Amino acid sequence: MRHNGADHQGVRSLDKDRAADLTKLCAWAKTAARYPKTATDMEAIIAGSDPLAHWLASSQPLLEELFRCWREAPQTTLEAHQVEYTRLFVARWGGVPAPLHASYYLNRETFRGDAADAAVAFYGRQGVRWSETELQEPPDHLAVELEFLEILCQSVSPAPGRGDVAEQWQDFWRSHFGLWTLPCAAAMEQHAKLPLYKVLALSLIQLWEQEMGHEGTRQGSLCHGL
């Protein structure tokens, strides 16, 4: 998947065909990056995982394991994912290894730092406004930013002269999203105990390599992001 697309200052450009695939992928990742509050959330995560089948082959055995656990003991599986999400991203004895908001990585470990403002500015330029949800994810939360990518993908038009979305995509990746998601995903991959968050981490890494592979090595970006 790498090095095979149009290149705008190192970030892969967005065309209509890719956008259609990425829309589904971002929608799934967004759901997986939210706290699984109910059984319906878990069902949505499992049911919506189809786009990963070919795009990330290594996810399949992990998703099979997730489904097996879910089928055998849905309530226990839900609670295990709630505990795992809290442990990885929210509050944990042992430190939170992979906070899911950009400011943590880009602004000296703050919450709602400059990176949150930067994200909001991107949203405004695209004509959308971030609004708080019950779970109160901040504007630079992974799930929020994935939904923004999803919106960008949905906005791609084949008509000539509508290249602003593709530019937004590249700008967002290059100056914001691409700077923090890899260290976040790497920490998630390292500390995740349950298959779902392994898959989420691997998806983010794959996505980063696909979109940002031209920008430099993973290691290089990790250092930059931190």
Partner 1 sequence: MTEISRREFIQWGGAGMAAAALSDWVFFKKTLWASPEEQEKLFYHACHICDCNCGMTYQLKNGRIVEMRGNPADTLGAAGKLCVKGYSTPRLYHDPCRLSHPLQRTNPRKGRDQDPAWKIISWDEAFSAIGEQFRRVYDHYGPEAILIFARPKPWDSHLWNAIGTPNQLCHVDTCYINHELVGKTVAGGRIWGWDFSHAKYIIGFGYDQPGKSKNIHQREFMAARRNGAKIVIFDPRLSETAMKADLWIPIRTGTDLAALLAMIHVIIAENLYDKEFVEKYTSGFDKLKTHVAKYTPQWAQKICDVPAQTLVEIARGFGSTRPATLAYHKRDAGGPTYMNSFQTAQAMLVLQALVGSLDRPGGLYYSRTPEMPAVKEVYNLNYPDIADKPRFDDPENITPLVFKTKKAGFSTAADAILKDSKPHVALFHSYNTTSFSNPRHLEEALTKLDFMVNVDMYLTELGMYADIILPENLWIENSGFTARSYQAERPQVMLDEGAPKLHNTKGYGEIANGILAAMKLYDFVVDPKKLAPAQMAAMGLDKDKLRQSGGVFDSGEPFKPKEKFKTPSHQIELYSTVLEKAGHAPMPEWVEPVAKPTPEYPYYIITHHLPWMRMLKNANDPILKDLQCENKAHIHTSVAKKLGVKDKDLVWVKSPVGKIKLMVAVTEGIRPDTIMTEHGFGIWAKGRCQGIGWGQNEGEILPDRTLAEMKSWKRHAAGRGVGICDTTVRITKA
Interface pick for partner 1 out of 22, 98, 106, 138 (rule CB under 8 A): 138
Residue in the structure block whose two tokens are 């983010």: 204
Q: Give the containing element (helix H, strand E) for 11.
A: strand 11-12
CB 143 within 8 A of CB 30: yes
Tell me whether residue 7 or residue 64 sits nearer to partner 1 (CB atom).
Answer: 64
Please report whether residue 225 would count as binding partner 1 according to CB under 8 A: no
Interface pick for partner 1 out of 136, 159, 160, 161 (rule CB under 8 A): 136
Q: Looking at the DSSP assignment, which residues form a beta bridge with residue 101?
A: 141
> CA neighbours within 13 Å on the CB side: how many for 156?
21
Residue 126 makes CB contacts below 8 A (sequence gap 6+) with: 148, 151, 152, 155, 165, 168
User: Which of 16, 8, 10, 11 lies closest to 162 in space, CA to CA?
Assistant: 16
Q: Looking at the DSSP assignment, which residues form a beta bridge with residue 12?
A: 7
Binding mask 140-179 for partner 1 (x = CB under 8 A): ---xx--xx--x----------------------------
Piece of 29-37, 173-181, 195-203, 210-218 that binds partner 1 (CB under 8 A): 29-37
Which amino acid, 118? A
Please report whether residue 112 would count as binding partner 1 according to CB under 8 A: yes
- Least Å distance, CB 82 to partner 1, is 4
How many angstroms separate the CA atoms of 117 and 112, rounded? Answer: 8
Which amino acid, 144? V
Please report whether residue 131 would count as binding partner 1 according to CB under 8 A: yes
Interface pick for partner 1 out of 4, 91, 159, 161 (rule CB under 8 A): 91
Please report whether residue 103 would count as binding partner 1 according to CB under 8 A: yes
- Least Å distance, CB 2 to partner 1, is 27
Tell me whether residue 120 or residue 222 sits nearer to partner 1 (CB atom).
Answer: 120
- Least Å distance, CB 188 to partner 1, is 16
How many angstroms separate the CA atoms of 226 and 207, rounded? Answer: 19
CA dist 78 → 20, 35, 69, 98, 195 (Å): 30, 10, 10, 20, 13
Please report whether residue 108 would count as binding partner 1 according to CB under 8 A: yes
Residues that bind partner 1 (CB under 8 A): 24, 27-28, 30-31, 34-35, 37, 40-41, 43-44, 46-50, 63-64, 67, 71, 79, 82-83, 85-87, 90-96, 99, 101, 103-104, 108-113, 116-117, 120, 123-125, 127-131, 133-138, 143-144, 147-148, 151
